[in-house]
Amino acid sequence: MAWDASRAMAQFYSNNIIADNMTARNGHGTPYPVDSKELRILQDPLFGPGSRGFRTNPPRISLQQAYERLCTYQRPDAKSNNRWKALREAMKCEKLTWDLIIKMFDDIDACFFNGDLRRRVYLRWRPFDGEEEIAIGVTMSACAWENRKRVSISLRTNHKWEAVPKTSVLGTLVHEMVHAYFLIHCGELGSLEFGCMDPSHGTVFTAAANMLERLTSLDLTTDSIMNSMLKESPATGPNGRGTMDMMPQHGYGYGPQVAWPGMWF
C-alpha cells in the first residue's frame, strides 16, 4: 500500500513517518485555529534578515534579566484569552499529531513568551543521526556560514513518539522554546551557564522550565521529559542503547556530552 501523505499528517502516532518536505498547512491535517501566513513563515528556512516582516533580535540582556522578564510575562489573565483556550482544547485530543504541534507554536509563544519568538524562530521536524541521536530536540542560534537565518528548533522524527505521554511531546517543544527565548535575548554565549555541569541546562534555565512546567502542567525539565521517555523501555531507553551513558541522570548532565554549539535536549 502506497504511503498517503495526507493521512500521515493526521496519523503521526500510528506510522511515525514525516517526509522531509512536509509542512503543516492550515486546513490540512489536524484542525487548529492558526494564521496561515504566520504558519508559513514559521516553517520557511529562507525567511530571515531582508525578508519583509522579519524581526531582528532585541538588545542583548543578561540571562538573569531575561529570566526576570519571562516571569513578568506570566500574567493571571493569560488563561482567559482565546489563545490559551485553543491550547487547552488541543490538549484534550487523544493524541497530538506532528502538524498540530507546529500549529500550536504561535499560541504558546503569545501566552508564555509575550510573542518574543514570533518571526524570530524557524521550526521543523527532521530525523536525527550521529551525535544528535542522544537528543529529541535541538535548538541552534542563527549562523550565516551554516545557512541558519534565524534561531532554529528541530524536533526529532525518528523517535517512538507514540509511546511518549502528550505532556512530554508538547513539553519538548516548549523546552526548546525556552532555549530559543534565551538565545534571542542573550545570544549564544550569553545563554550558557558555564559554571554548571551542563551549561545549556543550568540553574536559570531550570528555574524557567520549572516555572512554565507549573503553569502548563507539561513536562519541561530534563528530569520530567526523560523520566516519561524511559517508561517506554526502562531496560534500554528510547534509543535501545542504554541510559546511563547517553541519557541525563539528573537535570543538567549528559555524561561525556557537552551541549555545544546548539542547545540539545
Q: At residue 98, what is the residue type?
A: W
For residue 25, report the phi and psi dihedrals to the nearest 5 degrees.
-130, 145
Pick from 93, 150, 89, 164: nearest CA to 116: 150
Chain-centroid distance, C-alpha 228: 16
Cβ atoms 160, 238 nearer than 8 A:
yes
Cβ atoms 238, 133 nearer than 8 A:
no
Cβ atoms 129, 51 nearer than 8 A:
no
Chain-centroid distance, C-alpha 223: 16
Count the Cβ atoms, other than its own, within 10 Å of residue 112. Answer: 25
Q: How many Å apart are CA 255 and CA 245, to the nearest integer? A: 6
pTM: 0.81
Per-residue pLDDT in tens (0 to 9) along the chain, 265 residues: 333 333 333 345 444 455 555 789 998 888 899 999 999 999 999 999 999 999 999 999 999 999 999 999 987 665 558 888 888 888 887 778 889 999 999 999 999 999 999 999 999 998 888 888 788 899 999 987 788 999 999 998 888 787 788 888 899 999 999 999 999 999 999 999 998 888 899 999 999 999 999 988 888 887 777 776 665 544 434 443 322 222 322 222 222 223 333 333 3
User: Which ranges in 79-238 belong to alpha helices (H)?
Assistant: 82-91, 98-103, 105-112, 166-190, 203-216, 222-230
